[in-house]
Amino acid sequence: MRFFRIALLVLKKDFAIELKSYEILSTTLFFAVSCVAIFSFAFVKEGEAAVDAAAGILWIAIAFSGTLALGRTFERERYGETLKALLLAPAPRPAIYLGKLLGIVALLFVTELIVVPMVAFLFQAPFFERPLLLVALLGLGTLGYAAVGTLFAAMLVRARTRDVMLPILLYPITIPVIIAGVRGTSALLASPVDEPVATLWIGLLMFFDVVFVTLSLWTFEPLMTE
């Protein structure tokens, strides 16, 4: 129980800082929206959206803005020189990781609340035919992406080249999440809705999440020890 209390404390701390300025939330949202806007210039011709583009664009926007948010979250810790204090706190390291992860996931959920309707609107994509399946896909996909991302962003805090390294390391490893997210979402967009295929991808995402959250919790401690 103490473990989860500490995780929630870390989350609360991050929220309190964020609510003072909305720095990360506003920049991430703005980035995601511009990303979708650029894609709509490229893929919507004469009012007709390119076939099957919506699912891909949604996930690319999530992945790109996720990288931005991940980088900023830990940049803030480094700037205030608070990371060392956080790590020195008499708390299990995995709990700190979990707190950070929950913060990133929450941030990305808010981004998705804006981006999904925007993609649906600009690309005439019927996202809301099966809302539960969509929520499952987005939730599990975001969790998997953020699980690996939080760990890598935390590790990279000390590296000089962290801004370049994060996407270089993160994208190849989270490709299964992107494939599952994109294929699953486009199954939802098909008419008629291809429910078995969407559930198949949800299953893969679940499995990915279990493996990578476990692996991250397990390796966070030795990785963050100098």
In the complex, the residues that contact another protein under the rule CB under 8 A are 148, 151-152, 155-156, 158-161, 164-165, 168-169, 172-176, 179-180, 183, 200-201, 204, 207-208, 211-212, 215, 219, 222-223, 226
Q: Which is nearer to another protein, 105 or 156 (CB)?
A: 156
Shortest spacing between CB 208 and another protein, in angstroms: 5
Q: Which is nearer to another protein, 99 or 149 (CB)?
A: 149
Which one, 108 or 151, has the nearer CB to another protein? Answer: 151
Neighbouring C-beta atoms of residue 17, cutoff 10 Å: 17
Cα–Cα nearest to 217, from 147, 142, 140: 147
Min separation Cβ 60 and another protein, Å: 17
Half-sphere exposure of residue 118: CA atoms within 13 angstroms, side-chain side: 22
Q: Output the smallest distance, CB 96 to another protein, in A.
A: 16
Task: Provide the Cα torsion 70, 203, 186, 196; round to 10°.
Answer: -170
CB of 177 to another protein, least distance (A): 8
The residues facing 48 across adjacent strands are: 45
Alpha helices (H) along the chain: 2-21, 23-43, 53-79, 83-88, 93-122, 131-156, 162-173, 175-189, 195-224
Q: Estimate to the nearest angstrom the gap between the alpha carbon of 207 and the chain centroid.
A: 17
Q: How far is the CB of 34 from another protein (least distance, A)?
A: 27
Name the minimum Å distance from CB 25 to another protein: 28
Of 85 and 215, CB closest to another protein: 215
> Closest CB to another protein among 99 and 141?
141
Q: Which residue in 70, 73, 72, 67 sits closest to 86, CA to CA?
A: 73
Shorter beta-carbon distance to another protein: residue 89 or 223: 223
State whether the Cα torsion 207-208-213-216 is positive or negative.
Answer: positive
- Residue found by looking up tokens 């935390």 in the block: 154
